[in-house]
């Protein structure tokens, strides 16, 4: 008797993706990393129904990139080879590259970036400021996000119930070049909040401090009146672990 993977289904629905859209995102992630896959709506259905208890290695990394969650927290029954972890040197543990079936030396990012320094995988507190022209005030947005690093690629997704403004999931897709982080951000505002479910997105660039525990810089994006806005953005490392217990501990409103 199979056990449905309700965790994966909840994560997909939290991303506001249909099964077909989720499969497309997994294919796109495979293309970006140089490890193409054949994800389909039918495959997603098999994962969520429990008919396929664990993803093949070629899908595991793509799943991590799309969801922003470690593969061992997505509800799969993983073979030992997929769930292998290593000490990150900071009191936590990281999934090894080989844990998702791709050797650490295999392939290079499509873009020519400087080698990544250290590993920034972990739970981070994301804080940004924005000015609301409609309210004439500056506000602060906070989220606990789980950040995963694959080579020079960084992906971050806010944890459930972990935003200062409830039901406002945040996504970051970034690239590390030396001590510079550049990429994009997307936030889906709460349907019952001031912005009534509006989706905002833009660009982001930050510098990584020498300690590797803080990134700080600026965001840019369009406002409601199609004006270009900007403001400060900071990521601060809270815990280098991405264990299930750690993610559950930070699935709460930031202080």
C-alpha distances out from residue 82 to 26, 57, 78, 147, 148, Å = 18, 7, 6, 19, 16
Q: How far apart are the C-alpha atoms of 229 and 114, rounded to whole Å?
A: 30
Angle between helices 19-33 and 41-49 (to 10 degrees): 110
- What's the whole-number mean pLDDT along residues 165-188? 86
- pLDDT at position 210 over 80: yes
Q: Which of 59-73, 78-92, 104-118, 164-178 has the lowest mean pLDDT?
A: 104-118
Residue recorded with tokens 């809270």: 238
Q: What pLDDT is attached to residue 79?
A: 67
Contact 143, 163 (CB under 8 A): yes
Q: Which pLDDT value is given to residue 151?
A: 81
Stronger pLDDT, 43 or 33, i.e. the higher one: 43
Name the more confident of 81 and 17.
Answer: 17
192 falls in which pLDDT band (50, 70, 90)?
Answer: low
Q: Greater confidence, 5 or 108?
A: 5
pLDDT band at 190 (very low <50, low <70, confident <90, very high): low
Evaluate if residue 98 carries a pLDDT over 50.
Answer: no
Say what the pTM is: 0.60
Are β-strands 153-163 and 180-188 bridged in parallel, bridged antiparallel, or unpaired? unpaired
On average, the pLDDT of the chain sits at 79
Inform me whether the pLDDT recorded for 69 exceeds 70: yes
Tell me what pLDDT residue 85 has: 41
41 exposed, middle or buried (CB, 10 Å; 0-12, 13-18, 19+)?
Answer: middle
Selected residue with higher pLDDT from 241 and 86: 241
By DSSP bridging, strand 93-95 and strand 170-177 are: unpaired
- At 142, is the pLDDT very low, low, confident or very high (cuts 50, 70, 90)? very high
Alpha-carbon dihedral sign for residues 248, 15, 6, 24: negative
Report whether pLDDT(218) > 60: yes
Q: What is the pLDDT of residue 40?
A: 95
Owner of token pair 């922003």: 68
- What are the φ and ψ backbone dihedral angles of 237, each rounded to 5 degrees? -65, 130
Which position has the higher pLDDT, 115 or 81?
81
More confident residue, 14 or 90: 14
Q: What percent of the chain has pLDDT over 70?
A: 78
pLDDT tops 50 at residue 84: no
């Amino acid at each position: 008797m199979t056990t449905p993977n309700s965790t994966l289904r909840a994560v997909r629905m939290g991303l506001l993706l249909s099964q077909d859209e989720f499969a497309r995102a997994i294919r796109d992630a495979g293309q970006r990393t140089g490890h193409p896959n054949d994800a389909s709506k039918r495959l997603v259905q098999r994962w969520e129904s429990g008919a396929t208890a664990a993803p093949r290695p070629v899908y595991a990394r793509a799943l991590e990139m799309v969801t922003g969650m470690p593969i061992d927290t997505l509800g799969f029954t993983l073979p030992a080879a997929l769930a292998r972890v290593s000490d990150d040197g900071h009191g936590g543990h990281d999934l090894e590259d080989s844990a998702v079936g791709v050797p650490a030396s295999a392939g290079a990012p499509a873009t020519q970036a400087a080698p990544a320094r250290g590993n920034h995988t972990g739970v981070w507190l994301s804080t940004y400021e924005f000015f609301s022209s409609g309210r004439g005030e500056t506000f602060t947005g906070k989220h606990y996000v789980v950040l995963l690093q694959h080579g020079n690629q960084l992906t971050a997704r806010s944890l459930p119930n972990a935003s200062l403004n409830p039901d406002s999931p945040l996504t970051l897709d970034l690239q590390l070049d030396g001590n510079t982080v550049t990429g994009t951000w997307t936030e889906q505002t709460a349907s019952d909040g001031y912005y009534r479910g509006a989706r905002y997105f833009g660009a982001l660039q930050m510098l990584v401090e020498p300690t590797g525990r803080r990134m700080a810089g600026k965001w840019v994006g369009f406002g409601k009146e199609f004006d270009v806005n900007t403001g400060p953005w900071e990521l601060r490392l809270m815990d280098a672990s991405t264990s299930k217990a750690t993610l559950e501990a930070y699935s709460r409103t930031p202080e």
